[in-house]
Amino acid sequence: MIGSSIRRRLVLLVLASIALVWGGALVSSYRQATREVGLWEEARLAELAQMLALLDATNLMTLANARIDVREEEKSGEAGANNFDDDDTLPRDALFQVRTADGVVLAGSPQLHVLGAWDLPLPPASGAQDVTLVGELYHSFTLRETALGHSVRVFEPANTRSDLVSEIASRIARPTLIALPVLAVLVWFSIGWSLAPLKVLSAALSSRDINRMEPVGIGRTPLEVRPLVDAINQMLARLQHALELERAFTADAAHELKTPLAAIKVQAQVALAEPDIGLQRLAMERVVQGVDRSARLAEQLLLLARLDVQEKLPTEPLKPAAIAKDTLLANRRNAQQKHINVMLIGDMLAEIDAEPVLIGILLDNLLDNAIKYGRTGGNIEVAVRHADEHVQLSVRDDGPGVEPDDLARLTNRFFRATGNQATGSGLGLSIVARIAEHFGASLQLGAGIGGQGLAVRVSFPAAYRAPR
């Protein structure tokens, strides 16, 4: 197919364009040649008429019985034949008629009797005319009122002009037809040479090791190829960054899973070795806690992995306050164990466009972190506020808070603030940040209740409702 090869397509398009332009130029040249030849023939007929007007009756009679060959060249092989044969083989005999001022014919070519033009009336004024004689077109020129008082009319077959014009067009077209194949070869190799950087780029990519992510370099790159090379290098940079994140994620996940698995193993060994039933039960309870921690960590890792590759999920209008109520109920037991007071305030009717399960996970992580790292007997505030075109969800506590140096790193995966003794994976706020990003929300961290503890605020675009 033509579309399968840029080189072939360009060659055909270039040649088609050249042929179109040359064709237009040839047509224009033919028309111009036709006009110029017509003017030249009229001038030649006028000169012949002026020459005949100067001859006397005797010479006119002699010339009338002879043949007036008006071709430029002589027949090949004859003496004096020129070397500029225009291949004009059609007859080019001029016929004439000379009349006195009274209209009496002094002399004329006998062929005019055959053509029925002997008694043809003279035009009222001097000049060129086209006449049809016995079904054939003739060009004529009339010269009236000469110095001797005669009128002269000269006739010439119309095919003389077309023959000359055709020869001129043929001479113009012949070099074009010869040059077109040569031009096609030159265009083919020129386009191939111009597309050589693409072959170099293809070879550089095909021979590259799969683990090499450094930018592609092919020397001097044409301006048309440079955007492609830049796009490939940008893609390689993004792939390199993604691979680095994946390696770091895998290493951190392995490290985080190693700790609870080691603890489970130790507790299981204690349970096996301990003869006391009470101590065995305690060890098995700790095994169960370790399994729960490992299962939650695995769930969080899987959620982060899905969020990293997941396309935009379908959304629906939802009330964050309603989801917050369910989240508070699910975490009530943990809050009661630490005697923490949790309250929900704000706009209960505010709506956002999001996915309910992910918003539930976001609020669950925020509330779980607030309970886990908050102080015993403290307070937690969950608020939903509608301001302008945004709906803000915030969870604040009055616990020990976070050092300013650690605040900016809280959303990093597996990061845990210094001084925290509570168990955790360091993934909670990473998941919150990723969910917020997924729905186009902004995340802010700051001081909590009364300037103590931690406050996490997530600002979502408010759901748009068309007026009824």
The CATH label, of 1.10.287.130, 1.10.357.10, 3.30.2270.10, 1.50.10.10, for the domain at 226-307 is: 1.10.287.130
Q: Which of 376, 375, 374, 372 is nearest to 425 (CA)?
A: 372
DSSP states along 108-125: E-THHHHHT-TTPPPPSS
pLDDT at 376 over 80: yes
What CATH superfamily is the domain 313-461?
Histidine kinase-like ATPase, C-terminal domain (3.30.565.10)
Q: Which of 447, 302, 440, 292 is nearest to 361 (CA)?
A: 302
Query: Which region among 249-253, 317-321, 460-464 has the lowest average model confidence (pLDDT)?
Result: 249-253
CATH 1.10.287.130 in the chain is located at 226-307
- List, for residues 207-225, the tens digit of each pLDDT value: 777 777 777 776 676 776 7
User: Residue 153: its pLDDT value, please?
Assistant: 92
236 CB-side CA count, 13 A:
17
306 and 344 in contact (C-beta within 8 Å)?
no
Rg for the chain, CA atoms, rounded: 51
For residue 26, the Cα-to-chain-centroid distance in whole angstroms is 36
User: Residue 258: its pLDDT value, please?
Assistant: 65
Helix H segments across 215-309? 226-273, 277-309
Q: What is the mean pLDDT of residues 354-359?
A: 82
Instruction: Name, of 100-114, 136-150, 192-206, the range with top average pLDDT.
Output: 100-114
Two structure tokens written together for 379: 């307070």
User: Residue 78: its pLDDT value, please?
Assistant: 46
> Hunting for tokens 């029925």 — which residue is that?
116
User: Residue 230: its pLDDT value, please?
Assistant: 79
- List, for residues 265-286, the tens digit of each pLDDT value: 877 887 788 788 887 788 788 7
* 339 or 204, greater pLDDT: 339
Two structure tokens written together for 406: 């650690």
User: What is the rounded CA–CA span in Å between residue 317 and residue 311?
Assistant: 19
Mean pLDDT rounded to a whole number for the chain: 77
pLDDT at 25 over 70: yes
Two structure tokens written together for 278: 């009470």
Q: How many CB atoms lie within 10 A of CB 413?
A: 21
Q: What is the mean pLDDT of residues 288-295?
A: 74
| Amino acid type, 447 | A
- List, for residues 388-421, the tens digit of each pLDDT value: 788 888 898 888 877 776 666 676 655 555 555 5
User: Residue 301: its pLDDT value, please?
Assistant: 64
CATH 3.30.565.10 in the chain is located at 313-461
DSSP 222: -
Q: What is the mean pLDDT of residues 86-108?
A: 77
User: Residue 374: its pLDDT value, please?
Assistant: 84
User: Residue 89: its pLDDT value, please?
Assistant: 56
- List, for residues 433-462, the tens digit of each pLDDT value: 888 888 888 888 888 888 888 888 989 888
Q: Which residues does residue 385 pair with via DSSP β-bridges, in sequence order?
A: 392
- List, for residues 53-88, the tens digit of each pLDDT value: 888 888 888 888 887 776 654 444 444 444 444 445
Q: Which of 26, 24, 69, 39 is nearest to 161 (CA)?
A: 39
394 and 343 in contact (C-beta within 8 Å)?
no
User: Residue 62: its pLDDT value, please?
Assistant: 87
- List, for residues 159-168, the tens digit of each pLDDT value: 665 566 667 7
Q: What is the mean pLDDT of residues 177-182?
A: 79
Q: What is the mean pLDDT of residues 108-112?
A: 90
- Fold entry, domain 2-73+85-173: Beta-Lactamase (3.30.450)
CATH 3.30.450 in the chain is located at 2-73+85-173
Q: SS3 for 70?
A: coil
Q: Which residues does residue 461 pair with via DSSP β-bridges, in sequence order?
A: 390
420 and 373 in contact (C-beta within 8 Å)?
yes
